[in-house]
Amino acid sequence: MRPGAHAGSVLAGLCRRRPADRGGLFGRNLDAFWDAVEHQGPGWPGEVQLVFTNTAALAGLRTAGGGSLLDGLRRIAAEATRIAVRLA
């Protein structure tokens, strides 16, 4: 990972509580993260390898849609082709 790039900051907004209408989730979900890492969308970290450490701590976290945050990150790590995403 390049100096100054923090994988945690990329996900900082994913688990925040939002209003029921979910209008405030724009850009703060796994779909947005996928767009950033795979399609160079907003928040693209550049040509880096994203390494998430201590991922066991994410096991109980849910996305706004109720899915497992950790499972979503695992899918992204397995399917990403533009940059490397690794869970440690």
Quick one: pLDDT at residue 71? Answer: 95
CB 55 within 8 A of CB 88: yes
Boundaries of every domain in the chain: 7-87
pLDDT in tens, 2-12: 444 455 555 55
Q: How confident is the model at residue 64 (pLDDT cuts 50, 70, 90)?
A: confident
What is the distance between the alpha carbons of residues 26 and 49, in angstroms, rounded to a whole number?
A: 25
Residues pairing with 50 in the sheet: 85
> Could you tell me the two tokens for 33?
């993260």
pLDDT in tens, 8-61: 555 554 444 444 444 565 567 899 899 999 999 888 888 999 999 999 999 999
Q: What is the pTM of this model?
A: 0.69
Q: Given the structure tokens 């950790």, which residue do they identify?
A: 70
> Could you tell me the two tokens for 20?
């029921």
